[in-house]
Structure 1
């Protein structure tokens, strides 16, 4: 996740970013800012995904990057590894239905602390 963030950031800053990636970068940057200030900020709609928490042995949270969009993305995160840290472990299109096992298809990255700049 850190590598993706850095690639988007560099591309955005040097003007070589695509239109689609610009949208992703701006929405992700805004979500990270809100998350860093208040993980329970209402616009993020943060909530625990219990099936992922059970699978990975730690509370896994999901927050919105966007909503009301057929390609709406969600950000999955955990607290840690250190006190007051939040680690982004996945960006994924919204899993449409829990009934169909959509969260079973979500693969979370390893702890790779992302730094928001």
Structure 2
């Protein structure tokens, strides 16, 4: 089952388009190139199978409770300091996944670490 991927806020869409453009023009810096490749791979896997083993997808209870909809986290990378995480929800249309944040993993394991994760405004659900 294939999913359509949407960006939850214009800034995320702008970031993706900027990275893509700079990559194809060969003007991208090393750090952005790495992010582009990892994010692109994760988006491809997510669209094909949100529960692909390498994504380590799991719901984040604190964020789900805050927003009243199940919020999922998938890995862009693992076992590295500040490893990037992609936060997403199903919807608003069927077979659609909306990316609502791209953030480093909260290093602080203390209660409330996910309270500091900013998420985009969720689109209306159908």
TM-score in same-fold range (> 0.5): yes
| 1:40, distance to aligned residue in structure 2 (A) | 0.3
Q: Which residue in the other structure is 1:93 paired with?
A: 104
TM-score, with structure 1 as normaliser? 0.91
CA distance in 2, matches of 1:50, 1:2: 26
The answer on 1:103 being equivalent to 2:93 is: no
Distance 1:79 1:30 in 2: 19
What is the Cα-based RMSD across aligned positions, in Å?
1.2
Q: CA deviation at 1:95?
A: 1.2
Cα distance in 1 for residues equivalent to 2:120 and 2:35: 19
1:98 shift after superposition: 4.0
Q: What do residues 63-116 of structure 1 show as CA deviations (whole Å, max 9, x unaligned)?
A: 00000111210000000110000011111111124424110000101347xxxx
| SS state at 2:80 partner | coil
| Cα displacement string for residues 3-60 of structure 1 (whole angstroms, at most 9, x for unaligned residues) | 1111111111111111000000000000001000000001000000011011111110
Could you tell me how far apart the structure 2 residues matched to 1:9 and 1:65 are?
Answer: 17
TM-score (norm 2): 0.84
Counterpart in the other structure of 2:19: 8
Q: Which runs of 5+ in 1 are unaligned?
A: 113-117
Question: What is the count of residue pairs matched by the alignment?
Answer: 112
Mapping 1:20-59, distance limit 5 Å? 20-59=31-70
Q: Secondary structure at the match of 2:102?
A: strand
Bigger mean CA offset, 92-101 vs 1-10 = 92-101
Q: Which runs of 5+ in 2 are unaligned?
A: 1-11
